[in-house]
Chains A and B, each alone.
Chain A
Amino acid sequence: MELICPAGTPASLEAAVEAGADAIYCGFRDETNARNFPGLNFSREELRKGIAFAHRHGVKVLVAINTFARAGSFELWQAAVDDAAAAGADALILADLATLDYASRRHPDQRLHVSVQAGAANPDAIRFYVEAFGARRVVLPRVLNVMEIATIVRESDCETEVFVFGGLCVMEEGRCSLSSYATGKSPNMNGVCSPASDVAYTERDGRISSTLGGFTINSFGKNELAGYPTLCKGRFATPKGSGYIFEEPVSLDAAVMLPALRDAGVTALKIEGRQRGRAYIAEVVRSFRDILSGLDKGQTASSAGLAAMAEGQTGTVGAYRKSWR
């Protein structure tokens, strides 16, 4: 199985290559990619240099242009597709139908992957992307269990990529309006859930409160572990009590599921975290490279041992073992 690793900066790209990535995914410094954070991402020149560096080390670069094009500004997404192809990207990761259509017509030889943002979660949806745009790989949403993934692999004429570590988006990807409601900016169109410009932290009597777009979404006591300031990880007051109702601060760690994912026929394993520092990239990539080498020798890991890197310092196998739908 290929190991697909995140890079939000050229330094992280190099760290991922050195730590043993098979491929790196990254994006441009604008709203065409779903990690549009301040100080993050690649200029055109940085992407060209990053791809050259990765190729010298036998590593592929996949360019995420995975937000949904805004009406009236499609040329931004077209330029991203053209520039990534010209820079020598090994694949483009796309979600928007119009962007997929443009890329498949304009660059017929360019390898296209369907982003997790597209939310393609069944064989029929995947068949559509393959037949209409020649998609070669689909990144599956983090809502499927291993049996469902095995069925999709069996019934699809397309490679599959699944997340194995990092932040979780508990909604079916590409279909969450929580952050849009609070901030007026859509994760799927502006490229960032809970934009930093709308987040604030205030301290009162030793407790830290986080607000998003003016809504208080969480409050942490002195030694309580924290998570990202997303609404899905907020604490809510309900008639039955207060607490986390969607998701606790927790990160995906599917290291224990790797044998099952391999047996299900998955092609590639993806690590989330383009917004993270190079310390995270180096440590997480190295850990999964070791686990994969162990897997080849018949060894299995019970966890990636990376809880220090996780939200709430806690790992979960997420939907991979869920029995409900």
Chain B
Amino acid sequence: MRDPETTELQGLPPRLPQWLARAVAPLPLAPLQPALALMLARISRAYPELYDRLGEHAEKRFGIDPTDLPFAFVLEPKPGRPVVRAVRELPEGLDASIRGPLAGLIGMAEGTFDGDALFFSRVLWVEGDVAAALALRNAIDDARIDFDNILLGGFAPLATRLSDALRKRVRSLPALPGGRAWN
């Protein structure tokens, strides 16, 4: 019963070019580890209300898979002792996994993309415990994490300039087929 007055358009995040995925593929993941751990520790200290929203799901193991990069992350938000690991492939036995292009995942975390809209357009997909994935998504959306500050700590003005430059770079990448440019 589709209405004759229907309208159809899209707004999709861009996918990173394949050359970039190929270029970073041989790099070792170990050097990423300390930076990731520091970032997660900062987030869990600066945004304790995240845990109220996560509730029972804070103890679960999440897979975050940027589908346009040759690696993924395993996240355990556990209050007081959060853990994040970069992995080549998501292991078996995770509670929930969220998959999508890096720009979509970052945009959702920053609040520039709506998770449901990305789901409707098949850009983003969830496997496993859907309730846990939703709780994580909603907790992050509410927290309004200032990634500029989290990423580069005290160097906030420099961080803002750097991340603006990065965002511009990402926006200039081609959008997914059928989609328009990010923002």
Q: State whether B114 touches A317 (Cβ < 8 A).
A: no
Q: State whether A37 touches B134 (Cβ < 8 A).
A: yes
Question: Could you say which residues of chain A place their CB within 8 Å of the CB of B57?
Answer: 38-39
Q: State whether A308 touches B3 (Cβ < 8 A).
A: no
Q: State whether A196 touches B141 (Cβ < 8 A).
A: no
Q: Which chain B residues have a beta carbon within 8 Å of chain A's beta carbons?
A: 1-3, 5-12, 52-55, 57, 107-108, 111-117, 119-122, 125-139, 141-144, 177-178
Question: Could you say which residues of chain A place their CB within 8 Å of the CB of B131?
Answer: 38, 195-197
Q: State whether B10 touches A308 (Cβ < 8 A).
A: yes
How many chain A residues touch B (Cβ–Cβ < 8 Å)? 56
Question: Could you say which residues of chain A place their CB within 8 Å of the CB of B116?
Answer: 228, 275-277, 280
Closest to B56 in A: A38
Q: Which chain A residues have a beta carbon within 8 Å of chain B's beta carbons?
A: 8-12, 37-40, 43, 195-197, 199-203, 208, 220, 222-228, 244, 247-250, 253, 256, 275-280, 283, 303, 305, 307-318, 321
Question: Could you say which residues of chain B place their CB within 8 Å of the CB of A40?
Answer: 53, 134, 138
Closest to B117 in A: A309
Question: Could you say which residues of chain A place their CB within 8 Å of the CB of B142?
Answer: 9-12, 39, 278
How many residue pairs at the A-B interface have CB separations less than 8 Å? 150
Q: State whether A199 touches B120 (Cβ < 8 A).
A: no
Q: State whether B130 touches A317 (Cβ < 8 A).
A: no
* Cα A315 to Cα B126 with chains together (Å): 24
**Set B7, B122, B130: member contacting A307, Cβ < 8 A:** B7
Interface pairs A-B: 9 shortest CB-CB: A39-B138, A308-B11, A39-B135, A9-B142, A316-B3, A38-B135, A280-B114, A196-B131, A277-B114
Q: State whether B120 touches A226 (Cβ < 8 A).
A: yes
* Cα A39 to Cα B108 with chains together (Å): 15
Question: Could you say which residues of chain B place their CB within 8 Å of the CB of A256?
Answer: 5
